A and B are shown apart, each in its own frame.
Chain A
Amino acid sequence: MTAYLVTILILASISAIVALGLNIQWGVAGLVNFGVVGFYSVGAYATAIVALGGGGAWGGLLAGVLASAVLSALIALLTVRLTDDYLAIVALGLAEVVRLVLLNEAWLTGGPLGISGIPRPFAGLVTEANYPVLLLGMILLALAATLLFAEALVRSPFGRALRAVRDDDTVAAALGKDALSLRIKAFAAGGAIIGLAGALHAFYITYIDPSQFTSIVTAYAFMAVIAGGRGSNIGLIIGAGSIMALLEATRFLKDFIPFLDGTKLAALRLAMIGAGIVLLLIFRPQGAMAEPRLSARASRPEAELKPDRLSERKVLPHAS
């Protein structure tokens, strides 16, 4: 039972870190990243490859974070000519390409078989059986550090500038903010955090293959960010935690409903996440907790309830 609880806590914490990363990109900066799983797998694979290639666990961790951050910055750079709407499809496409590379470049990634025997940090300190508890401690520390970083970022001048760019980039540009550079920084910072989560995934499982990295990672992250409230980090942790608990609970459905097999259960979970995303967007777009704001707007409740209206704009080519 303890082992099961540790597993759940580890998985929930890793999901929460992914969601914190997405929250910087989407929640704060308004950049929709449908390719979360791509960056997550890049983080995990870079960690595994460098760790096994002589970099050790810590070298691997650093490589995972950096690889995901650099890739994120490059992708965000593509929006130099057009707006964020296109970023969604580019990120989705990138995740597909990453999947193709993982499957086909066997010399680097092990192909469909993946990579096993990934070294873990501090592995010599405790026995193999007790290691998950130590790892949970480290992951919780990483989660706390990420949370502090994200909170500091949201409340910093940089965070305010990001929100300004998100809500109206023309006004932000008129006030001297470099929208492109802000977007790239935000996307890279979020990407680094998602890469960190990927690295932790590699340390926990110690064996990675492409089948572990499916769109459910992306779905989880979006659900957690929406449930917690876009831009609110504390709300998001609560959101990620409750989703994990809810989804874990569906595991027990198998005992009551005999015709549910693994595939049906997985399908049911993903459908529930999809429905959850839609319902929350319709009925509670502000999430569990609203975004912290310093502006006078906070005193006008009607503006807070419909934050989306503020940023409505037409940015794409029109119909001909």
Chain B
Amino acid sequence: MIAQLILNGLVTGAIVALPALALTLTFAILKFPNFAIGAMLTMGAYCGWMLNALFGLSLPAATALAAGAMAIVAVAVDKLVFTHLRDREGLTLLVASMGVAFVLENVCRFAFGNDARNLDIAVARPIRWHGLRVNHEQVITGGAVVACLLVLFVIVRFTPLGRAMRAVADNPSLAAARGIERNVVVAVAWCLVGILCALAGTLIALDRAIDPLMGWNYQINVFAAAILGGLGSLFGAVIGALVIGVVEELSTLVIPTNYRQAIAFAMIVILLLLRPQGLFGKVAIRK
């Protein structure tokens, strides 16, 4: 029973890890929390659904195309909105990102209405393994997330692009002095954000229905994961997401399932009171 809950928690946590990575990535490079992350997730899911259920593409193809589309959307949002606000204070960007969230979410609602939508996939029997019930969706999700994390790790750790991203995150002016083109790094980061959101959106859609509020319902969890991991730490965001997924599942043993969504909020509050820098973040410096 508990092992089953932990497994389920790890899988939901793995999905949340993707947008949490996206959030922490933009935070590291652009220094503002992107409140449009939930709406980007929703839009990614709708893109995947549209290609899969309406145009009849296979799920991998639909996901890949959705990822490409969302990369373009994310870069476009940056070019249209955030570039113009680059030298403003963090709070302005934060409020602007909320404005972006309203636009993206309601573009989806305008196009497809409030009805729940489902991907066009065959329902398969769950696999039994040592008394655990494992859905096919969970296997796909686990595999996709691990693959995605590996690719991201290689990009950030070993490529010149990743080095440039880390340099800009660390010290933008120093990076600029060394001839790193900040705009390129920022555009690549937004591409990654779009891809991560589209992938997470489609993976969530595998498990449950798509509706305009879907990303919104994950927003608090995504932030909780990123804050738990220490906002700005990529590794931390993944661990944070897994921890929150597991805690949320286990919490159903002691509190009513209706309040599951409150767990992430409670974790943010406890963290802010006890360890505001998160598990893997450095101590904040006030300037």
Contact = CB atoms under 8 A, between A and B. Distances in A.
A317 interface: yes
A297 interface: no
A145 interface: no
Given A93-B220, A319-B166, A82 B272 contact: yes
B56 to A, nearest CB: 25
A291 interface: no
Nearest to A30: B91
A187 to B, nearest CB: 15
A interface secondary structure, majority: helix
A82 B223 contact: no
Interface string B16-46: 0000000000011001010100000000000
Given A104-B256, A270-B102, A273-B102, A320 B230 contact: yes
B282 A320 contact: yes
Contact of A271 (B91, B103, B264): B103
Contacts of A270: 102, 105-106, 109
B155 interface: no
B147 interface: no
A94 B282 contact: no
Interface stretch (B7-15, B81-89, B123-131, B175-183): B81-89
B106 A309 contact: no
B153 interface: no
Contacts of A170: 286-287
B259 interface: yes
A318 interface: yes
A136 B236 CA distance: 53
Interface string A59-103: 000000000000000000011111111101110111011001001
A263 interface: yes
B33 A88 contact: yes
A89 B95 CA distance: 11
A170 B212 CA distance: 42
Interface in B192-245: 212, 216, 219-220, 223, 227, 230-233, 235-236
A313 B103 CA distance: 28
B103 A275 contact: yes
A274 interface: yes
A290 B273 CA distance: 36
Contacts of A79: 272
Interface in B237-287: 256, 258-259, 261-262, 264-265, 268-269, 272-273, 276-278, 280-287
B281 A274 contact: no
B43 to A, nearest CB: 12
B98 A277 contact: yes
Nearest to A84: B91
B96 interface: yes
Contacts of B284: 82-83, 315-317
A100 B169 contact: no
A213 interface: no
Interface in A282-320: 282, 285, 308-309, 311-320
A88 B269 CA distance: 12
Contact of A263 (B92, B114, B220): B114
18 contacts: A88-B94, A90-B272, A96-B261, A270-B102, A270-B109, A271-B102, A271-B106, A278-B103, A281-B92, A315-B286, A316-B27, A316-B232, A316-B284, A317-B283, A318-B28, A318-B285, A319-B232, A320-B281
Interface of A: 30, 32, 34, 78-86, 88-90, 92-94, 96-97, 100, 103-104, 169-170, 215, 219, 222, 226, 263-264, 266-268, 270-271, 273-278, 281-282, 285, 308-309, 311-320
